Amino acid sequence: MDRLLFTTLRHGFFAIAAFGLASLGFVWSSPGEPSKSEGDWRLLDAITYENLTIFPVVNSSGYDTSGFLTLEDGLSSGEVIVREQGAETLIRRRDNNRTPPINYSGPSVNQLVLINHSKRPLVLLAGELVSGGKQDRVIAKDRIVAPMSDPLPLDVFCVEHGRWSNGSQFNAAKTIVHPSVRERAAVKQDQTEVWSSVASGSSASGYGGGIGSGSGSGSARPAAPPRVTTETLSQAMREEAPTQSYTKLYESRYVGASVDSLVAELQRRFRKETSGLKGERVVGVVVAYGGEVAWSDIFASGDLFDHYWNKLIRSYAVEAVARPTLREKASLDDAREFLRRLNGREVTESEPGVYRWRETSEATLSQIELDALQPKLMTIHRLILRRSS
């Protein structure tokens, strides 16, 4: 698959990057210029329970995303196939034609093979889990896979450290890993750190000052210990998740009950806060732990958000139970910082006519945007996170 990779500084090489992107048939907004959807975003009041605060992001003019396929739906329907490298060199299409052979030496921890049989482009989000094969894996990077594509190499990270055996079939993704693990996959791109975050629960260390770090809530005060400690996780691994399977670990009796109760109460409050919307849809959330705004997930449409929401809220809850229960609460002004476009060093990757992926780093923040180039240019998913190190 032909790819273009751009690594640019916004100021020094912006003109060169703009020329290259224009040749692909789309226009790059000037630095700091908000997109149409950014101008339409509105934050609702905070929804808080224990140390987790969620600010719903609403929009009155989302895009039509019905033409896109999600990984969970694709795997469930059989339109998407994921295999270990070398497990099957030929995969038959639904039109009974065989795809070209895949010439790999054998299975690899950090690469699988994917084929999209569907007539719709497939959306993949970093942190989505596929279970089965020789190990459970998570998608390494946001991307879009063209319809009716040939088999392609899929970058992944392992979230089951202690197994390398059994079959090649991967099952429908029903989990998105929690933010500490997603950060290690999407930004750090480091397998060892992914394993470490699975085992420790959270990679966050402390809660410094500054915008979005509790500055609007007064000075820091003592925090209660996490609901789920590293000792709790170690016990769960010994007794219920000996292969360090992410799913088994965070659904174990030692961890799952704490996560379930937090999710249930937050879902109740979320439905209450968002049930009276008129002419607007929830398209995303900004997430804070204690006084620190740490994360945001925003989508091109309310439909896409609805598809991912149950998995996302559970991922935020997993992170929350592994962090100290800080008394500080983030303010609305803190959360608004996660709606602005970052300015800084930018790395861009694009497959012509399919997608564009961009990562922008500014101070302690990272912004990752996944743009679809067809049938029209739109930002399918936008993530901003506060790096934990």
Residue 323 and residue 204 in contact, taking contact as beta carbons nearer than 8 Å: yes
Q: Note the pLDDT of residue 205.
A: 60
Please give the Cα distance from 386 to 367 (Å, whole number). Answer: 9
Using pLDDT thresholds of 50, 70 and 90, give the confidence band for residue 17: very low
Q: Note the pLDDT of residue 241.
A: 94
Q: Note the pLDDT of residue 222.
A: 55
Q: What is the residue-averaged pLDDT of the chain?
A: 83
pLDDT tens digit string along 238-254?
Answer: 999 999 999 999 999 99
pLDDT tens digit string along 149-166?
Answer: 889 999 999 999 989 887
Cβ-Cβ contacts under 8 Å for 203 (sequence gap 6 or more): 180, 183, 184, 193, 196, 197, 388, 389
pTM of the predicted structure, to 2 decimals: 0.84
Looking at residue 144, its amino acid is I
Cβ neighbours around 381 below 10 Å, total: 24
Residue 101 and residue 115 in contact, taking contact as beta carbons nearer than 8 Å: no
Q: Note the pLDDT of residue 105.
A: 65
Please give the Cα distance from 106 to 1 (Å, whole number). Answer: 20
Beta-bridged to residue 224, according to DSSP, are 325
Using pLDDT thresholds of 50, 70 and 90, give the confidence band for residue 384: very high
Please compute the mean of the pLDDT values over residues 269-274 and round it to a whole number: 96
Looking at residue 134, its amino acid is K
